Amino acid sequence: MTMFRTFAAALLFAGAAVPALADNPQFQGADPHAMMIGGELWVFPTGGPAGSWEADRFGAFSSRDLKTWRPRGELIRREQIPWIGADGASEHFLWAPGVATRGGKWYLYYSVGPQNPTPSRIGVAVADRPEGPYRDSGQPLITGGRGFEAIDPMVYVDPRNGKAYLYAGGSAGAKLRAWELTADMIGLAREVPVATPKNFTEGAFMHKRGNLYYLSYSHGRFDGPDYSVHYATAASPTGPWRYRGAILTSDKRRKGPGHHSFVRTPDGRWLIVYHRWEQPRGTAPFRGERQVAIDRVSYARDGRILPVRMTEGSASPTLSLNGTGRDGSK
Average pLDDT in the 226-230 region? 98
Does pLDDT of 1 surpass 60?
no
Q: Please tell me the pTM assigned to this model.
A: 0.92
Q: What is the CA radius of gyration of the chain?
A: 18
Distance CA 8, CA 10 (A): 5
For the stretch 155-180, pLDDT in tens is: 999 999 999 999 999 988 789 999 99
Q: What is the pLDDT of residue 171?
A: 86
For the stretch 25-61, pLDDT in tens is: 999 999 999 999 999 999 999 987 755 557 899 999 9
Does pLDDT of 321 surpass 80?
no
CA distances from 20 to 6, 23, 28, 134 (A): 12, 5, 10, 27
SS3 67: coil
Phi first, then psi, for residue 60 (nearest 5°) are -145, 155
Does pLDDT of 20 surpass 70?
no
Q: What is the pLDDT of residue 322?
A: 57
For the stretch 76-130, pLDDT in tens is: 999 999 999 999 999 999 999 999 999 999 999 999 999 889 999 999 999 999 9
Contact 25, 276 (CB under 8 A): yes
Q: Please give the domain boundaries of the chain with CATH numbers for all domains.
A: 78-315 (2.115.10.20)
What is the share, in percent, of the chain residues with pLDDT greater than 70?
Answer: 89
